[in-house]
Amino acid sequence: MEFFLDTADVDEIREIAAWGILDGVTTNPSLIKKSGRDFKQVVAEIASICSGPISAEVTALDTEGMIEQALVLKDELPDNVIIKIPCTPEGLAATKALTDKGIKTNVTLIFSSSQALMAAKAGATYVSPFIGRIDDTGHEGMNLIAEIMTTWDNYPEITTKVLAASIRHPTHVLQCIQLGAHTATMPAKIFRQLMKHPLTDKGIDGFMKDWADVEAAGNA
């Protein structure tokens, strides 16, 4: 599975990238606003830290506007930036046009397997189903991942990757792994929680105590 970081905080990106496991970064207008920085500057800096796909989202709602913004972004930002597009009829048309130009896309705000399949047919490089937001409505978000992966199994010609988004806790990630999702994008705190285990900490503490005793004996 690819591990993407969902943030526009470059300090968090540097932290997780230093672990050697970061495959990409997703951003959106809300995350850019939270950073308080210029959109293109922050995306360019992110792309210089992580060599994997960096999702930069268009803000236009019409097809021509999305295409125009995407072409500007691809012209002005590093090559590893891909274009994030909302899952609307206009977004699908823009995705098809950009795919025909060889531009990679991430179709976002997906809440049904039919939306995911249509985005894949339009040529999306990634589709982003939002797990946590479905959970917020009282339904089970992981069911959507299961439905999409079953659809993908039925049509092996699909090459679009399923990018699980709106991840709220480590169990979401583990369930995505078990269902075979290709990618998960998550906040930095989820990365840290996935790495943390009390038995690891206990083991290290025990090793260090024993080693201190060895050194003490050697210096006696």
Tokens 């097809």 belong to residue: 63
Tokens 């206009």 belong to residue: 90
Which residues have C-beta within 8 Å of that of residue 12, sequence separation ≥ 6?
5, 188
Tokens 């995306």 belong to residue: 43
Give residue 199's identity as a one-letter amino acid code.
Answer: L
The reply to whether 84 belongs to the active site is yes
Residue 213 in tokens: 């005793």
169 DSSP assignment = S
Phi-psi region at 135: left, alpha or beta (left = phi > 0; alpha = psi -120 to 50): alpha
Which residue in 84, 96, 161, 189 is the catalytic one? 84
Helices (H) and strands (E) in the chain, counts: 11, 8
162: β partners: 127
Q: What sign does the CA torsion over 96, 97, 100, 106 have?
A: negative
Strand, coil or helix: 109: strand
Strand, coil or helix: 19: coil
Distance CA 56, CA 83 (A): 5
Residues acting as catalytic residues: 84
